Amino acid sequence: MTEPTSSDAARIRLEQARRLLALAQTGLHYATSAFDKERYDEIAKIAHRQIAEAASLDTIKVAELFEFESGYANPKLDVRCAVFDEAGRILLVREIADGRWSLPGGWADVGLSPAENAAKEVQEESGYTVRIERLLAVWDMNKHGHPVSPFHIWKIVFSGAIEKAGMVSGTETDNVGFFALEDIPPLSLGRVLPEQIRRITELHDSGAVDFD
């Protein structure tokens, strides 16, 4: 039997802490007595400390991240779009936050469908207007090799076809380019992994859909 690594143990602790925090958040939403709310609030604080330890973050920072999370606890939704040029190269944008590259995309906005979110993110971050053609993948980031995150995140990836070029209108990216698989630049691993870029290319070419 393979012994769990320290990284595996950290991920298990993080998942347990996320679950504990989700129970506390949901409990706070439905609790009616001050006694219950006090207890759920204490559970949330314990979970904040555990998440901070597992993700190597400051406890205060973790509390700030979840400050406005309320109601029934759900995974967060990250929407991305894969766009290819005529040579089969994939569109990537450089993130100002870490200077690394990613598929255009981000958190889903209220009031837009997943596909509408994907098209909006492409336009804002790359300047390209695209037509969303189909769904490529729905992934649970817990099941992939991303760096640990305080949040439980689901990633939806669409395929988009270029309709026209334009100017970048967002503030989160500072460069845009099309890349062949053998020339992929350093990626923002919290957003996308090299093996996911390869898989997305396979899905785009084959017409298949991947999901966890």
Point out the least confidently predicted range of 69-73, 87-91, 172-176, 190-194. Answer: 69-73
Residues 26 and 94 in one domain: no
- pTM beyond cutoff 0.75: yes
Task: Compute the average pLDDT of residues 141-165.
Answer: 93
Residues 130 and 206 in one domain: yes
1 in a structural domain: no
107 in a structural domain: yes
26 in a structural domain: yes
71 in a structural domain: no
The DSSP-derived string for the chain is -PPPPHHHHHHHHHHHHHHHHHHHHHHHHH--SHHHHHHHHHHHHHHHHHHHHHTT--HHHHHHHTTT--SS---EEEEEEEEB-TTSPEEEEEETTTS-EE-SEEEPPTTS-HHHHHHHHHHHHH--EEEEEEEEEEEEGGGTTPPP-SS-EEEEEEEEEEEE------SSEEEEEEE-GGG---B-TTT--HHHHHHHHHHHHHT--EE-
24 in a structural domain: yes
**Domain that residue 41 falls in:** 6-65
Residues 17 and 92 in one domain: no
Residues 181 and 121 in one domain: yes
Residues 92 and 155 in one domain: yes
Residues 123 and 200 in one domain: yes
Residues 86 and 106 in one domain: yes
Residues 13 and 91 in one domain: no
The rounded mean pLDDT for the chain is 91
Which pLDDT tens digit goes with each residue over 39-68? 888 988 888 888 888 888 888 888 887 887
Res. 3 pLDDT band, cuts 50 70 90 = low
Which pLDDT tens digit goes with each residue over 166-187? 888 878 999 999 999 999 999 9
98 in a structural domain: yes
The number of folded domains in the chain is 2
34 in a structural domain: yes
46 in a structural domain: yes
pLDDT at 24 over 70: yes
Res. 94 pLDDT band, cuts 50 70 90 = very high
The CATH number for 186's domain is: 3.90.79.10
Residues 56 and 95 in one domain: no
Higher pLDDT, 92 or 9: 92
